[in-house]
Amino acid sequence: MLKKIPKILSPDLVHALMKMGHGDEIVLADANFPGHSLHSNVIRCDGIGIPPLLDAILELLPLDPYAEHQAALMSVVPGDPVVPTVWDTYRGIVASHDASATLAFEERFAFYGRAKSAYAVVMTGEEALYGNIILKKGVV
C-alpha cells in the first residue's frame, strides 16, 4: 500500500495501468467472464465488485477525450428481458471522475473481440448481469 493509491488496487493492476498508453483499453470483467481463454494478460481481483474497483481505477486512469466514447458496455442480447441496473452505478462513477465521458454499447461478440485486443483483462468478483465494462485510457 502507498499514499494516494487506492488500497483496493493490487501492485499488478497499477503496474498494468501505468504501462498502458493513449488509446489502450482495459476490461473490467464480471466473475463469469471467460477472461483466461480470451487473453493471456489477466489480473485477478476475486471477491471485489466492479463499482469500488472502477472508482479506484478512475482516480488514477484518465479517460480518452479524443475517442467518441470513453468506455463500453456489453449490450443486452436481443430477447433477453434483463435490465442491467448496475449500468447506472457505472455511469455515476464514471461521471464523478469525468463529466463528459460517454459509454458505447457493443454486441456480445464484438465485445469479446475488443476484449481480445485490450491491454489486459481484470477478473473481478462482480456478479451483476451484463456487468463488464471496457475503459479507454487517455493522456496525462
| Chain residues that interact with its own copies, rule: CB under 8 A | 1-5, 7-15, 17-24, 31-37, 44-48, 52-53, 59-62, 119, 125, 127, 139-140
CB of 10 to its own copies, least distance (A): 4
Name the active-site residue from 22, 36, 66, 80. Answer: 22
Cβ closer to its own copies: 13 or 86?
13
CB of 65 to its own copies, least distance (A): 12
Strands 103-106 and 71-74: parallel
Distance of alpha carbon 137 from alpha carbon 100, whole angstroms:
14
CB of 7 to its own copies, least distance (A): 6
CB of 140 to its own copies, least distance (A): 4
Q: How far is CA 4 from the centre of its chain?
A: 21
Distance of alpha carbon 135 from alpha carbon 24, whole angstroms:
8
Distance of alpha carbon 110 from alpha carbon 105, whole angstroms:
10
Beta bridge partners of 135: 26, 71
Residue with cell 483483462: 121
φ/ψ of residue 38, rounded to 5: -95, -25
Cβ closer to its own copies: 10 or 75?
10
Distance of alpha carbon 120 from alpha carbon 54, whole angstroms:
15
Name the active-site residue from 24, 97, 112, 119. Answer: 112
Active-site residue, 22 included? yes
Cβ closer to its own copies: 41 or 85?
41
Cβ closer to its own copies: 60 or 104?
60
Q: Catalytic positions, please? A: 22, 64, 112
